[in-house]
């Protein structure tokens, strides 16, 4: 008798448990991927968030990112095969900072984000993703 009652309670709760698990996994898939903090000779701290907005892959610097004092810092991406893509300037007119970029369509995936000084031709710091982030829209 007690076993029958327990089975009945489990049957009633099972749909709720399944629904909760589905919702948690869906929420996780909408959340962006985040890199480990930047580390390097000049840039240490701050992360990069990857999100898909309107079908475009967007990378955004965290609010705790410190802009390097180098003369010509750029966003640079490295894919899982080691190919490097110089993407865009970090500092733009009037000392403004480009905190977000759209990943170009020719970048297949992103293993890490680097801050690159184009003037000195040196990596200032890099922030790897735990696993490469796919950057191409699946068709």
- 35-78 pLDDT, tens digit each: 999 999 999 999 999 999 999 999 999 999 999 999 999 999 99
Evaluate if pTM is beyond 0.85: no
Query: Is the distance from CB of 110 to CB of 126 less than 8 angstroms?
Result: no
Alpha-carbon 132 to chain mean position: 9
Burial of 10 from C-beta contacts in 10 A (0-12 / 13-18 / 19+): exposed
The enclosing H or E element of 25 equals helix 2-30
Q: What is the DSSP letter of 66?
A: P
pLDDT surpasses 50 at 28: no
**Any bridge partners for residue 88, and if so which?**
75
And the tokens for 111?
């293993």
């Amino acid at each position: 008798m007690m076993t029958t009652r327990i089975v009945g309670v489990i049957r009633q709760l099972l749909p709720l448990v399944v629904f909760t698990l589905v919702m948690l996994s869906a929420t996780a898939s909408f959340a962006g991927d985040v890199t480990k903090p930047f580390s390097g000779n000049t840039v240490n701290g701050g992360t990069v968030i990857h999100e898909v907005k309107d079908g475009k892959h967007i990378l955004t610097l965290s609010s705790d990112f410190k802009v390097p004092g180098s003369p010509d810092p750029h966003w640079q991406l490295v894919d899982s095969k080691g190919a490097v893509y110089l993407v865009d300037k970090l500092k733009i007119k009037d000392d403004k900072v480009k905190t977000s970029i759209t990943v170009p369509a020719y970048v297949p995936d992103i293993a890490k984000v680097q801050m690159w000084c184009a003037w000195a031709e040196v990596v200032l710091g890099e922030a790897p993703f735990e696993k490469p982030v796919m950057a191409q829209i699946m068709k």
